[in-house]
Amino acid sequence: MVMIEKACIFNIQKFSIHDGPGIRTVVFFKGCPLKCFWCSNPESQYVKPEKMWDNQKKDFTVVGDYKSMEEVITEVMKDELFYEESGGGVTLSGGEVLYQAEFATELLRRLKEKGIHTASETSGFAKKEVFKKYIEQVDMLYFDVKHHDEMKHKEGTGVSLAPILSNLSYALKEHCHVIVRVPVIPNYNDGVENARAFAVLFNELGIHEVELLPFHQFGEQKYAFLNRAYDLQAIPQLHTEDLVYFKEIFEEQNILCSIR
């Protein structure tokens, strides 16, 4: 966990309708301890502002900015009326929000104090004490599970699955509303055997609701802008119809499943 007075934020997106109930503002925290090889937000991985070069325009944009608590709260509270009218609120995302957990936890505490509904997306990779404190402030949690197998998880993300599953178990026991998300990546965690293994794991953990996130190529150009290698360049995107088998396997196991 990085301890800073200000947080490095790379976007505050208004009027989102896909990251929790109602109309929401999504605050994107920069920095992530994982390095998923398919990451569609590579500009979110390092916890510091960085340049993205557009070689065609011969120009760059700086991604990320250090913002104080007051600055973030002032910005998100501008849409308070929309939250009230739509049953919405504020969602924290990343990168991995728990990489700047101290700031994020305090931000959510202050928003809850103002009666704002809070949601969060997370990879769940954090120390248990940090995670516990954080989810006390979260009304709704989107929790990514990227693989069911420890070795494959490490291979694909650079980190162990064990602490993630431990935090997920805790969240399911202690938390009112957890939605598990699986990014489905070709030749990594797709296919019938992987779908079955995920279903077994989710049943063991008592998970009843899963969203599948089909692999897409929205991040491809960003790797070029950051001058970083990207391994999935020629890999076709997945579509809803490609994942019907995954959904059917989950539903056979009584796991409610949607494809985003």
DSSP code at position 17: S
Minimum separation from the CB atom of position 77 to ligand SF4 (A):
26
Minimum separation from the CB atom of position 36 to ligand SF4 (A):
3
CB 185, CB 231: distance < 8 Å = no
- Nearest Cα residue to 19 out of 157, 164, 173, 140: 140
Q: Which two tokens stand for residue 70?
A: 């007051």
For ligand SF4, the closer of residues 117 and 153 by Cβ is 153
Please state, in angstroms and as integers, the Cα–Cα distance from residue 25 to each residue in 14, 42, 143, 192, following that order.
5, 21, 18, 36
Q: Which two tokens stand for residue 155?
A: 């291979």
CB 167, CB 131: distance < 8 Å = yes
Minimum separation from the CB atom of position 41 to ligand SF4 (A):
5
What whole-number distance in Å separates Cα of residue 243 and Cα of residue 245? 5
Query: Residues 90, 167, 110, CA angle at the centre, nearest 5°?
Result: 30
Q: Which residues bind ligand SF4 (CB under 6 A)?
A: 32, 34-36, 39, 41, 44-45, 94-96, 123
For ligand SF4, the closer of residues 77 and 130 by Cβ is 130
For ligand SF4, the closer of residues 43 and 79 by Cβ is 43
Minimum separation from the CB atom of position 98 to ligand SF4 (A):
10
- Which residue has 């516990």 as its token pair? 132
For ligand SF4, the closer of residues 38 and 83 by Cβ is 38
For ligand SF4, the closer of residues 94 and 214 by Cβ is 94
What whole-number distance in Å separates Cα of residue 116 and Cα of residue 174? 20
Minimum separation from the CB atom of position 200 to ligand SF4 (A):
23
Minimum separation from the CB atom of position 136 to ligand SF4 (A):
22
Give strand pairing partners of 182: 212
For ligand SF4, the closer of residues 122 and 194 by Cβ is 122
- Which residue has 């992530």 as its token pair? 32
